[in-house]
Structure 1
């Protein structure tokens, strides 16, 4: 009975959010779009995939956190600002850990300070880099899941871009420290206080500037981590949502969990470790939610169906695969730049998972191939002048990774197979010798008339 009520509530929400209604003003459209995105993110959370991926990232973060800080510490030490590591870490943990943040920050910095990157052997340095790169790969895979990307970066791009991020991140810390130091100079403060509204302006800058910098940092992470193109506007909106959730989480921890939790009495000395694990988990969950907001903002049509591939009928799946093959051949015949997966997705408005599935099966039957570009584009493997539609359809229908042992087929299955073979032969006879170039020619004729 409760399950039925939940389905009825879901149907009512779907009817309300995606009902055909007169186009309102800009704010009404933005409000309904925000409700649709919030509903889609809540649906993802209820399915549990985001929570599971956040839990897995907690493990990799605990394993690779000290090596990652060691590499960042080496860069900061070379720049002469390594002493800023502890205050930065303390400022990050203080809203969540309370009095425990001081001990944790000192212990972590103590561990990092004892790691002498300059005297490590090749094997030790290799293990250090492998641990960090593995953690960043797992982070990328989690964000790729959110953006429905099945292919991670290749090994060369992975190593170069990950190491670039590890080196640039300390530089960004240095820049933020420099900007904060300049803003906090006595000269700047006195200049603002001398103005009639200087105090209000100073308070406003003190509140807004950290919020904007944090939102921008999250937005850059949402753009850089997934192996796909993310628009800055969508990433920045996701960054704003993540920053609000982060601040709210800090307020809840500071006022209800850190100081007044009964678990502190139960777990005693271990409570700081458990609290830290909880903070890491919720932090990753907030980041994944923010990335989901960016995904649904960039792909608003996905708010209704979600990122999971829809449960299509066999006929519809066949139709979509043939459509992708048709589009690739048509552009090749026209002598235009080949399609990429993102362009096909934007043109057809299919889900990224459906596009990826169609491309994979077309490459598996050796009908198309991917170029060496990044992102790859897709071309026919050979000439398509004599490519008959029924032959391509037959290859798609009969392709399978695994073959069924004919000895395991019962008599009834063989009868059904015979009927299907006869239907296939009848379809091929009816379809005749229609080729994909014939379809392209007829389409061009219809568009001109």
Structure 2
């Protein structure tokens, strides 16, 4: 670069308003970058007012090639809110954030560790589970469908899958429930239930659900999964198989266009069945309400991953003669465990996709969970209490935690934690039902804002069990001064005053900006 007089200039390229806006939105320091020099906005304005030659680039200057790749990706993914963008622009950004979140969950071990734990539970409970399933299916006359299903699931193992299927079916055939005795039968049922319970725990972890089902709910849910689920699944498989042999269907297939359509549907059959199975897991297993659309989105992507990775694993098996030579008969067991791990990992990836589709507020933060500071927790608690009281005072339907989280664009776990603090402190109560809502525990003019603030500040002290105080008399006096200042600032302000102070004509502002960690 040369200046007006032809002298060489080492001044780096300057950046304009676009990058400044993106950096301010993602929570960076309010600085403008001018090459390797950092300029404050007030200095830039004074220079522009004085006629300083500051070259402003177009709005997308933050995508300049001089920027590091990581900064360009950050600016692209986190600089704008999706709600402010056209749909054709928002969809690629949403997909980019989704890929970022899935990659983070995989690399940080959230998904892989859960899949590993399920591998050993599956190996332990596989034969008892199939024995119970086989006994139930035999009563309905569809038990012959069990072996073909195992062959399809283990198809990526090649000849090893056939051998493992034969051994498993042999174990199941040799297992006689009548000769097990009461203790053996109890252990059999316990092993099966422990597998289903472990699956529920993993799905609850993926869906950020802290509460488990009650014993009665577990019993009914697990019983339906173990007994009713296989019957419906294999009945559907048998019905689809017999449908192709129906004379009426055969006459339709003989027609040229319908024959091609039937062949295409037959090719999509395995993909459709595995996707429906995944969707059933996503809707039924987590201890929370899962939207069917979100479950289907996760299931379709997981089914596609199953087909693609299964084909790659089959190719690996066909070319792994050296592995077979080294490990001999142990190679089949090792590859079987690897495939079970991959299968669970695919299932959990689909569950994560369904979760992020239903809760896009988690895609606005870069970490798995949003870590709030003390001041942010206090602010969130007051916002939640004020919104609950505002609806209560106006006679509108009460808020649920999911609605509040979605409206405030804050992760549901953070909203539920603060709502739980307010509930345990006696300021809010939770209504009964499948989708509980929150209302004030008593008259809003009898709830002090200062008392709510104290409850939020002191809750973690009560939760940790630490009752003592650190030494330091002067620190105690400082804390007392802070408390007196808060008292003087809030005065006799009540929850009703807080609710009335909220703007009732506009929606609540988002609590989390894009890019906040």
Q: Name the TM-score, length of structure 2 as normaliser.
A: 0.77
Counterpart residue number, 1:102: 162
Check whether the contact 1:146–1:307 (CA below 8 A) recurs between aligned residues: no
CA contact (8 A) 1:331 1:337 kept: yes
| Corresponding residue number in structure 2 for 1:434 | 493
Relative to structure 1, is the Cα distance of residues 189 and 439 closer, same or farther in structure 2, using a 3 angstrom cutoff? closer
* Cα distance change of structure 1 residues 281 and 9 upon mapping to structure 2, 3 Å threshold: farther
Change (3 A) 1:446 1:275: closer
In the aligned structure 2, how far is the partner of 1:30 from the partner of 1:261?
A: 44
Greater helix share, 1 or 2?
A: 1
Q: Does 1:327 align with 2:392?
A: no
Which stretch shifts more, 108-117 or 417-426? 108-117
The DSSP-based 3-state class of the residue aligned with 1:73 is: helix
d(CA) in 2 for partners of 1:313, 1:40: 22
**Alpha carbons of structure 1 residues 443 and 314: separation in structure 2 relative to 1, 3 Å:** closer
Question: 2-side partners of 1:24 and 1:354: how far apart?
Answer: 26
Q: How far is 1:280 from its partner?
A: 0.7
1:402 aligns with 2:464: yes
The reply to whether residue 88 of structure 1 matches residue 149 of structure 2 is yes
Contact kept, 8 Å, 1:192 with 1:202, in 2: the verdict is no
Structure 2 vs 1, CA of residues 328 and 26 (structure 1 numbering), >3 Å: closer, same or farther? closer
Query: 2:256 maps to which residue?
Result: 196
Indicate yes or no: 2:124 matched with 1:70: no
Pairwise CA RMSD of aligned residues? 2.7
- Cα distance in structure 2, aligned partners of 1:220 and 1:446: 41
Cα deviation 1:80-130 (Å, max 9, x = unaligned): 121221121112112x21111122112111222233335554433332222
Structure 1 residue 137, shift from structure 2 partner: 1.7
1:280 corresponds to? 340
Q: Report whether the alignment pairs 1:425 with 2:484.
A: yes
Partner of 2:447: 387
- Please give the alpha-carbon distance, in whole angstroms, between the structure 1 residues aligned to 2:381 and 2:502: 19
Question: Residues 149 and 8 from structure 1, CA distance in 2 versus in 1: closer, same or farther, beyond 3 angstroms?
Answer: farther
User: 1:21, 1:360 → 2: CA distance?
Assistant: 29
2:158, 2:317 within 8 Å by CA — same for their partners in 1?
A: no
Give 3-state SS (helix, strand or coil) of 1:283's partner: helix
Q: Which consecutive unaligned segments of at least 5 residues does structure 1 have?
A: 1-6
Q: Shift of the alpha carbon at 1:70? A: 1.6
Deviations 1:375-433 (A, max 9, x none): 43334444443211112212221222235464x7333xx32222021111121022110
Asked whether the 8 Å contact 2:450–2:487 carries over to 1, the reply is yes
Distance 2:221 2:314 in 1: 36
- Answer yes or no: is 1:378 the counterpart of 2:438: yes
Matches within 5 A, 1:235-250: 235-250=295-310
Mark the structure with the bigger radius of gyration: 2
Spell out, residue by residue over 1:317-355, the C-alpha distance to the aligned partner (whole angstroms, 9 max, x if none).
111012222333334444555433222222322101201
Q: Map of 1:16-415 to 2, 5 A cutoff?
A: 16-20=76-80, 26-94=87-155, 96-118=156-178, 120-185=180-245, 187=247, 190-305=250-365, 308-399=368-459, 400=461, 401-404=463-466, 406=468, 409-411=470-472, 414-415=473-474
Q: Distance in 2 between matches of 1:379 and 1:198?
A: 58
1:378 counterpart SS class: strand
> Any idea what SS the aligned residue of 1:350 has?
coil
Say whether the 8 Å CA contact 2:105–2:368 is kept in structure 1. no
Contact 1:189–1:202 (CA under 8 A) maintained in structure 2: no
Change (3 A) 1:296 1:189: same
Q: Secondary structure at the match of 1:150?
A: coil
| Equivalenced residues, count | 437
After superposition, the Cα gap between the structure-2 partners of 1:388 and 1:36, relative to the gap in structure 1 and judged at 3 Å, is same
Instruction: Output the CA distance in 2 between the equivalents of 1:48 and 1:409.
Output: 37
1:405 and 1:243, CA in 2 relative to 1: closer, same or farther beyond 3 A?
closer
5+ residue gaps, structure 2:
1-66, 507-517
Which residue of 1 is the match for residue 14 of structure 2? none
**Contact 1:388 / 1:436 at 8 angstroms: preserved in 2?**
yes
